[in-house]
């Protein structure tokens, strides 16, 4: 097959490489011409613009976008003017599923087919493959199964049995109508937030389990440590993280990556703990609220990210001000 890829960043470029590895032809475009040139050296067909990319594709054309959510609408607007009836556009980034519903309707009115594909795999996707959560036009999905197989984790491996495998077992799934793919990816990322926060909180408790070794401040502003001798453990947190990878019920790829991070930098000294969020966690919590579904873990993990960026400083100052006013409590220096 021949497919166009717009957006050659951390994931887009490696997706191109994996698709080409399976024998397909990729026409590529990015605003950074150096990224285009690098993939041309590996066998991709370079394009100098969206118009040039479309000219180099064959009908029915397939254009896959791997772009930040904020620029998808403008890109779709431009593409919809130069693509032809029955062509296919895929948004493989982290768009809001509600936007997909609108976009699919708008593009359908122009005779274009639209797929929203939640894509998980990160910078390791070239080696491990990508998990693909797909929504939208079912006919477009069927036509692109060879591309999805090329990207999926198990596309080049057998399962060791003669039993037929479902597409989900391979690593991609048609989840439903427009928006379904990004809805499933939204929840996937919300769960990811919660898992990461849980690991981090547990490791933080281990990291501070030696508090009993330290002298304790004794004053009206400090809760006493009741039994300091209960907290005199100098745990090797990187080693414990590596240990949990072996036979533990909480082993996971995220834990593998955490152990790798500790191996590279045991004290994590270069990091400041400022945690970004690209939107999916917010959307997942909003969806839970709209449905009346309790999601305390996902919500707390999202709010932790806000706090990490200093968004709670003013509220903490307000609490300190109230304590000072009603009880004469003054902030401690540390």
The set of catalytic residues is 185, 192
Helices 180-207/280-291 angle, 10° precision? 110
Assign 3-state DSSP to the chain and report helix, strand, coil percentages, each to 5: 50, 10, 40
Pair 256, 124: CB distance under 8 Å: no
Residue whose structure tokens are 């359908």: 108
Q: HEC string of 52-99?
A: HHHHCCCCCCEEEECCCHHHHHHHHHHHHHHCCCCCEEEECCCCCHHH
**Could you give the strand order of the β-sheet that contains 45-46, starting from the edge strand earlier in sequence?**
45-46, 25-29, 2-6, 62-65, 88-91, 113-120, 131-136, 172-176
Neighbours of 169 (CB within 10 A): 13
Sign of the torsion angle spanned by Cα atoms 282, 255, 124, 309:
positive
- For 330, what's the count of Cα atoms within 13 Å in the CB-facing half-sphere? 3
Please tell me whether residue 277 adopts helix, strand or coil conformation.
coil
Give how far the C-alpha of residue 109 lies from the chain's centroid of Cα atoms, to the nearest Å. 31
Pair 143, 24: CB distance under 8 Å: no
Pair 330, 324: CB distance under 8 Å: yes
Give how far the C-alpha of residue 305 lies from the chain's centroid of Cα atoms, to the nearest Å. 14
Sign of the torsion angle spanned by Cα atoms 33, 38, 40, 44:
negative
Peptide bond before 245: cis, by omega within 30 degrees of 0?
no
């Amino acid at each position: 097959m021949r497919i166009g890829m717009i957006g050659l960043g951390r994931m887009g470029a490696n997706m191109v490489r994996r698709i080409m590895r399976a024998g397909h032809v990729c026409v590529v475009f990015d605003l950074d011409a150096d990224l285009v040139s690098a993939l041309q050296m590996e066998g991709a067909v370079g394009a100098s613009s969206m118009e040039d990319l479309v000219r180099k594709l064959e009908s029915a054309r397939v254009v896959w976008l791997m772009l930040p959510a904020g620029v998808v609408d403008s890109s779709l607007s431009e593409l919809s003017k130069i693509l032809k009836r029955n062509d296919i556009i895929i948004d493989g980034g982290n768009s809001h599923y509600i936007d997909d519903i609108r976009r699919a309707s708008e593009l359908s009115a122009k005779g274009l087919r639209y797929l929203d594909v939640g894509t998980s795999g990160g910078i390791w996707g070239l080696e491990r493959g990508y998990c693909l959560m797909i929504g939208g036009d079912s006919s477009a999905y069927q036509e692109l199964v060879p591309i999805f197989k090329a990207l999926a984790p198990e596309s080049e491996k057998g399962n060791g049995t003669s039993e037929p495998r479902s597409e989900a077992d391979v690593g991609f799934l048609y989840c439903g109508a427009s928006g379904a793919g990004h809805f499933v990816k939204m929840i996937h990322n919300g769960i990811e937030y919660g898992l990461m926060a849980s690991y981090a909180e547990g490791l933080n408790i281990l990291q501070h389990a030696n508090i009993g070794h330290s002298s304790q401040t004794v004053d009206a502003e400090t809760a006493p440590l009741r039994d300091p001798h209960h907290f005199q453990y100098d745990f090797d947190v990187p080693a414990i993280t590596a240990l949990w990878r072996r036979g533990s019920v909480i082993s996971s790829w995220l834990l593998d990556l955490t152990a790798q991070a500790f191996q590279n930098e045991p004290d994590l000294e270069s990091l400041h703990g400022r945690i970004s969020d690209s939107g999916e966690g917010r959307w997942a919590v909003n969806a839970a609220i709209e449905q009346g579904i309790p999601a305390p873990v996902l919500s707390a993990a999202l709010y932790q990210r806000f706090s990490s960026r200093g968004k709670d400083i003013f509220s903490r100052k307000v609490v300190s001000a109230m304590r000072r006013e009603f009880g004469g409590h003054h902030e401690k220096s540390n």
